Amino acid sequence: MSALILDGKSLAKKTEAELSNRVTALKQANKGQAPILATILVGSDPASGTYVKMKQNACKRIGMESIAVELSEQTTTEQLLAKINELNANPNCHGILLQHPVPAQIDERACFDAIAAEKDVDGVTCLGFGRMAMNEPAYGSATPQGIMRILEAYDIELSGKHAVVVGRSPILGKPMALMLLNANATVTICHSRTQDLPSLIKQADILVGAVGRPEFIKAEWIKDGAVVVDAGYHPGGLGDIELEPIINSATAYTPVPGGVGPMTINTLILQCVMAAEKKLV
């Protein structure tokens, strides 16, 4: 029997229709003022430029507006902080996205943490991470929060399950593990120094691949009946997990593309609408 496909693309489309109605209501209640997301792109990395454009287009589809900030490759930390502070002070800006990565001379963490908590709709600040970890109100990091929304939408049981997260990045692996822990899963975090990785992955009821290396996680490491979430995307349409061999043995899986990716952008937009609702209503 084929595994259930956790279709993030269709879920994102459904959510966009709901968000359009919420944006319309916000405009009607606030003299036509739409929620506004500010996107900051530093440098000329083509992939980053594409991602930012996709986020701006998602805003347009639901009637939101965006402020596009583009800064040169030579931008300093001080210049970027000044721009973030300007957006923090702008009452017409409801969410701020600083596209990762920034050029090497910039202190990215300092710039992320300069984003006001109420505008941290991408969930990148240490303050937001800490609040999320403690089950306090916060905007979750967009990719793991999007994954949690997929699992919830498809009624994937998490309580009491053993979740294995492969990857420990501050905006994916770490928050993913804590979100699963908050959902009462038992969580193991694996990384580049983990010994006997295949045996740990074999224990996973819920597996999240977030290593950033194409098909690094092999199908033979995954036990039958697991729920498999692939947060990677690489040229040729490959994820971090060898998916093709497990489509008849897993309980459910996220396809690549069309699984986690659409829900990352959708979660960013959802959280910006939520921020605007708190501010405008």
pLDDT in tens, 96-108: 999 999 999 999 9
Confidence band of 281 (pLDDT split at 50, 70, 90) = low
This prediction's pTM: 0.95
Query: Tokens at residue 96, please?
Result: 């701020």
Is-catalytic flag, 55? yes
Q: Which of 7, 55, 161, 240 is catalytic?
A: 55
How do 206-209 and 162-166 pair as beta strands? parallel
Domain with CATH 3.40.50.10860 in the chain: 31-118
Please identify which of the residues 7, 113, 120, 122 carries the catalytic annotation.
122
- Tell me the DSSP string of 48-105: HHHHHHHHHHHHHHTT-EEEEEEE-TT--HHHHHHHHHHHHT-TT--EEEEPSP--TT
**Catalytic residue at 107?**
no
Q: Which CATH superfamily is domain 142-261 in?
A: NAD(P)-binding Rossmann-like Domain (3.40.50.720)
- What pLDDT sits at residue 1? 67
Out of 7, 83, 99, 161, the active site residue is 99
Domain with CATH 3.40.50.720 in the chain: 142-261
Residue 2: the pLDDT is: 85
Judge whether 224 counts as a catalytic residue: no
Per residue in 144-187, pLDDT tens?
Answer: 999 999 999 999 999 999 999 999 999 999 999 999 999 999 99
Q: Write down the CATH number for the domain with range 31-118.
A: 3.40.50.10860
